[in-house]
Chain A
Amino acid sequence: MDLFIRYVLNGVGNGAVYASVALALVLIFRTTGLLNLAQGEMALFSTYFAWKLTSLGLSVFVAIPLTVVASMVGGAVIERVLIRPVHGPDKSPLNVLIVMLGMFLALNALAQLVFSDDAEPMPKPWASVSSPGDPTGADRIVELLGVRFSWSVIGLVVALLAECALLYVLFQRTKVGLKLRAVASNGASARLVGINSSAMLMLGWALAAGLGALAGSLVAADRGSVNPGLMAVVLVYSFAAAALGGFDSPVGAVVGGMIVAIAEALTTGYVKALSTIELVVPFALILLVLVVRPTGLFGKKVVERV
């Protein structure tokens, strides 16, 4: 039983990360109908930026917010300069896919060129104890009701809850959020009633880039370091999470992230044959859900007209 709880808690920590990145994917998908393949590498670039700030002596509590703001500007610029000219109802969807693949390759390489091509220690924004051999220290453990929680799990879950609350308030309680939802549900009509849909598209990408930056910085802190391959794996799981929940559903992203991560933790914990091929788990899940329910658990079915 203890082992079971430990596996589940590991899963919840990872699930919070996958859910954050999946939320970013969903944000972009809802506003532009695109699956952002470069999301992980955008986050990787931001994470190296955050590491650079901390290595210059800034506190991690200053560095991460600064990174999030800078990434939001970067995300808006990417939408305006790289995506918009090649994306549209009358343009080939493959072209925008190639541009995103180009971004995927170039951003990963740029992060290594500009910052560092090595694993770099990322300070933890939660309680840790210093341990020899580990520059950022090990996670502190708290015991609650006989269950041992690691601070990293608590930190990751709190960050996810904060993100969800912020997004909920933004989308449901503000005018900007209303405009964003209008553009997502019907771009043409939204323009007709005077909503600046271009600005909303840029805002969607900015929010996604910001979410990705936060998720990247936190997962780097959780793993102790940031390295060039960090986000590629996270992105695969987040894709799984978003597909599971349905690409147009933020709730689905969070639920999907948790399901994927807990399923991964349990199966790799109990089934030894799956070691090194643990990636089978998310894809088996995706395949299962897509075959039974092609739009994901929370996705809306789109009716096609001929």
Chain B
Amino acid sequence: MSRTHLRIALGVVVAAAALYAPYYFQPTMNQELSRALYFAVAAMGLNLLTGFNGQVSIGHGAFFGVGAFTTAILMDSHGMTFELTIPLAALLAAAVGVLVGIPALRVRGLYLALVTLGLAVLFPRIGQKYVKGRGGVALVRPDRDGFDSLLDALANDQWQYLECLAIAAVLFLLAYNLTRSRIGRAMVAVRDQEVAASTVGVNLARVKVGAFALSAAYAGVAGSLSVMVDRAADATDPTVAFRNSIEFLVAVVIGGTATIAGPAIGALVVVLLRRETDGLIEGKEVLSPAIFGAALIAMIYVLPGGVVGGLRKLTDRILPARDGEPPGPVAAAALEPEAVATPGGAGAGPHTRAPTTKEKP
């Protein structure tokens, strides 16, 4: 069996399972899975920016929030249909993304992480100051009827799950095609070597700001979907945007950075992990973040390349050769940076690198 066959088989099984799930599970579990789906959309957005374009953001909770509030306010105060608000939420989040992406051109790596962290910390405070929902707090709760199933055959929870699934599937397909296009290759080139990319004609500013806008739009759509699943857009808790931002990043890394399936797997892991650790011991709510944090560290140890990285390693062991590609050191090096790591780890890296940098003028 070749890799392509394996992939197709796996894809069919996953798609069948995803379509059958809402009929199999109870409504609470369906809600949890819908949550995983919108989480996956936000994580995919972040993956486009961080995984493929190399711009680290700890602020996607803010774009997510922009999307959520756009939808909630448009439905609550302007009586719009839920589905109509989704593209508007995406557009508005993208606009905010451009606003953040332009100053982000000047800063990179850690500094960018910092600026975006500020975004996540600021967002709920701005929300609390300017958004006044019912009761005067920054919480907007549209009517339940706005999300009711349009088909008689489906219960509300099933309808919502399938709507999230359809939107997520479209956005994942879009991301898949994008990363294999000219734009996607430009994004990866900018990530790997900015200066070199610009010398071969990649417009750095356009690619980076574009990646920011697209990524923010994904997060905005996710926020929009979250209003349907969680029934409210909420900025009353000042830590919520920050926590979301962290969890999106966690989903990307746990699933597998710069892969297409990674964010979906990561989102499922994060949402289920949170569900399992919440209320593990009665009256000890604080135990949940302790276990969540410890689990994160443990997962990085066990799967440094994320779940997808781990699966690739496994298939490499079972099916040694790739399709039409002889097993060689070049392929191995491209696929698994860990495999060519020197045994000394952190200590040995610079030694092996030093001569190459000296050779160049």
Binding site for B on A (CB under 8 A): 29, 35, 82, 84-95, 97-99, 101-110, 112-113, 117, 187-188, 191, 197-198, 232, 236, 239-240, 243, 247, 276-277, 279-280, 282-283, 286-287, 290-291, 294, 304-306
Q: How far is the CA of A290 from the CA of B117 in the complex (A)?
A: 14
8 closest A-B pairs (Cβ-Cβ)? A106-B293, A88-B346, A188-B350, A105-B293, A89-B349, A102-B296, A109-B290, A283-B118
Say if the beta carbon of B103 comes within 8 Å of chain A: yes
Say if the beta carbon of B88 comes within 8 Å of chain A: no
Say what secondary structure dominates the interface of chain B: helix
Q: Which residues of A contact B193 (CB under 8 A)?
A: 306
User: Are A283 and B115 closer than 8 Å at their CB atoms?
Assistant: yes
Say if the beta carbon of B110 comes within 8 Å of chain A: yes
Say if the beta carbon of B9 comes within 8 Å of chain A: no
User: Are A191 and B118 closer than 8 Å at their CB atoms?
Assistant: no
Q: How far is the CA of A82 from the CA of B298 in the complex (A)?
A: 10
User: Are A90 and B114 closer than 8 Å at their CB atoms?
Assistant: no
Say if the beta carbon of B253 comes within 8 Å of chain A: yes
| Cβ-defined partner of A105 (8 Å) among B109, B289, B347 | B289
User: Are B115 and A103 closer than 8 Å at their CB atoms?
Assistant: no
| Cβ-defined partner of B117 (8 Å) among A92, A99, A239, A304 | A239
| Cβ-defined partner of B300 (8 Å) among A99, A109, A191 | A99
User: Are A86 and B125 closer than 8 Å at their CB atoms?
Assistant: no
- A277 and B125 in contact, given A35-B114, A90-B337 (Cβ under 8 angstroms): yes
User: Are B121 and A236 closer than 8 Å at their CB atoms?
Assistant: yes
With CB as the reference atom, state the residue of chain A lying closest to B354: A188
User: Are A280 and B122 closer than 8 Å at their CB atoms?
Assistant: yes
- Extra contacts, 12 of them, besides A88-B345, A236-B117 (Cβ < 8 A), are A90-B341, A90-B349, A91-B338, A94-B253, A98-B249, A109-B293, A113-B287, A276-B125, A280-B122, A283-B122, A286-B114, A306-B196
User: Are B114 and A243 closer than 8 Å at their CB atoms?
Assistant: yes
Say if the beta carbon of B353 comes within 8 Å of chain A: yes
With CB as the reference atom, state the residue of chain A lying closest to B197: A306
Q: Which residues of B contact A286 (CB under 8 A)?
A: 114-115, 118
User: Are A90 and B342 closer than 8 Å at their CB atoms?
Assistant: yes
Say if the beta carbon of B357 comes within 8 Å of chain A: yes
| Cβ-defined partner of B111 (8 Å) among A90, A107, A109, A294 | A294
Q: How far is the CA of A99 from the CA of B303 in the complex (A)?
A: 12
Say what secondary structure dominates the interface of chain A: helix
- CB proximity of A268 to chain B, nearest CB, Å: 13
User: Are A305 and B360 closer than 8 Å at their CB atoms?
Assistant: yes
Say if the beta carbon of B297 comes within 8 Å of chain A: yes
Say if the beta carbon of B6 comes within 8 Å of chain A: no
With CB as the reference atom, state the residue of chain A lying closest to B304: A95
Over the window 313-338 of chain B, the binary record of Cβ atoms lying under 8 Å from chain A Cβ atoms (1 yes, 0 no) is 00000000000000000000000011
User: Are A89 and B300 closer than 8 Å at their CB atoms?
Assistant: no
| Cβ-defined partner of B56 (8 Å) among A97, A103, A104, A276 | A97
Q: What are 7 A-to-B residue pairs whose CB atoms are below 8 Å?
A: A89-B353, A102-B294, A236-B121, A282-B118, A283-B122, A290-B111, A305-B360
User: Are B125 and A95 closer than 8 Å at their CB atoms?
Assistant: no
Q: Which residues of B contact A98 (CB under 8 A)?
A: 249-250, 253-254, 296-297, 300
- A187 and B350 in contact, given A95-B304, A110-B290, A291-B106 (Cβ under 8 angstroms): yes
User: Are A287 and B290 closer than 8 Å at their CB atoms?
Assistant: no
With CB as the reference atom, state the residue of chain B lying closest to A101: B246
- A106 and B111 in contact, given A88-B345, A91-B304 (Cβ under 8 angstroms): no
| Cβ-defined partner of B195 (8 Å) among A86, A276, A306 | A306
Q: Which residues of A contact B349 (CB under 8 A)?
A: 88-90
User: Are B103 and A287 closer than 8 Å at their CB atoms?
Assistant: yes
User: Are A277 and B289 closer than 8 Å at their CB atoms?
Assistant: no
User: Are B115 and A290 closer than 8 Å at their CB atoms?
Assistant: yes
Q: How far is the CA of A236 from the CA of B124 in the complex (A)?
A: 15
